[in-house]
Amino acid sequence: MYDRPPLFTPARGRHALRATAAAVALCAVALLTAGCGSSQDTAEGARATAGPAAGFPVTIDNCGVRTTYDRPPSRVVTIHQHPAELMLALGLKNRMVGTAFPDSAVLPELRKAYASIPELAEREPSFETILEAGPDLVYGGYGSAFAENEGRSREAFADAGIDTHLNREYCGRKRVTMEDTYDEIRTVGRIFGVPDRADQLVADLARRVNTAAAEVEGEDEVPVFVYDSGDKAAFTAGGRSLGTELIRLAGGENVFADLDDVFGDVSWEQVVERAPEVIAVYDYAGAGSVERKKEFLLSQPALRDVPAIRNKRFVVLPLTATLVGIRSAYAVEDLARGIHPESFA
């Protein structure tokens, strides 16, 4: 299980060195562009020396960091998969110069575009690796994107002249809902000067969610347990997580919705007591295969009388589908089909 911490508090340190490194990296990018750039690259450079772009400046308050954009960012590094998929869904591939930390299969319609963007690291890249890509914006999916103890604080990037944006799921809100997904998409649309595309994407995703929810409307809520990982204890989705909202929209009820956190550990005795009828298994790299997770759950004598185990009722969800991003709308239908298969017969 990789880290999903809250937003780190930035601290000053080594900013002069980092600023110098950033300047060197950006100069290298500029020289390469001048030597072999296209007319589009030349236009980007011209815009960089011009005044604010049409519809700009745009000021965004994001997780305690206030940023004013005079023009849309043109060289973006995304850390974690869901910000990258969101940008691609908004047609912003030509603004992306690097991605990092893929953890699930990419949506089929985005797979080719995603593969065309340089992958900087299998996990979070180092500060220096990011600088080498010459970004003007770093967009992080989890709080660990800007881990201070790994030299990637938001302040360090600011000192290097690079803007940052953190997925709103890690802004410390009490509870995450689909509205957070829609708001994140609209915010990114504003940052990149494509608000109409963002509105259209939100409308399409909301339509997908509403269609799935309508199929199970009026059905009894089915108790669902989320299994992320763990053997001595179960690491599960709590009441603040978007997963709880997705289960509700799909006609279920998270049996640990009273856990006052996004994720947390619960005992297996608690799982037995709450008798889930369906288990949602989160699938992502680094936590063991889905089949191994199922085998583990099915092999536990203490769980044999749990209805979901007895009836082998599992729904598999990519972890990225349970986060603030475009995949969450798809997850509602997948969950609804697993929780109420009779409604889709």
Residue-range definition of the domain harbouring residue 45 = 15-172
**Integer Cα distance of 168 and 156 in angstroms:** 20
For residue 120, give the H/E element and its range: strand 119-121
Give residue 241's identity as a one-letter amino acid code: S
CATH of the domain at 84: 3.40.50.1980
Q: Which helix (H) or strand (E) holds 112?
A: helix 111-115
Tokens of 20: 């110098």
Total domains, the chain: 2
- If you search the block for the tokens 């108790």, which residue do you land on? 223
Question: Whose CA is closest to 127, among 33, 10, 44?
Answer: 10
Q: Are residues 230 and 165 in the same domain?
A: no
Digitized pLDDT (tens) for each residue of the chain, 345 residues in all: 334 433 333 332 333 333 344 443 444 334 333 334 433 343 344 444 455 678 899 999 999 999 999 999 999 999 999 999 999 999 999 999 999 998 888 999 999 999 999 999 999 999 999 999 999 999 999 899 999 999 999 999 999 999 999 998 888 767 889 999 999 999 999 999 999 999 999 999 999 999 999 999 999 999 999 999 999 999 999 999 999 999 999 999 999 999 988 899 999 999 999 999 999 999 987 777 899 999 999 999 999 999 999 999 999 999 999 999 999 999 999 999 999 999 987
Give the pair of three-digit tokens for residue 28.
């290298």
Single out the residue in 172, 191, 211 at which a domain terminates: 172
201 domain residue, yes or no: no
Alpha-carbon distances, residue 14 vs 10, 17, 57, 63 (angstroms): 12, 5, 30, 23
In a domain, 323, yes or no: yes
Cβ(130)–Cβ(110) below 8 Å: no
Whole-model pTM: value is: 0.82
Q: Is 48 helix (H, G, I), strand (E, B) or coil?
A: helix
Question: Is residue 191 one of the residues assigned to a domain?
Answer: no
100 in a domain, yes or no?
A: yes
Please count the residues of the chain. 345
Residue 107 in tokens: 């949506």
Assess contact for 241 and 251: CB atoms under 8 A: no
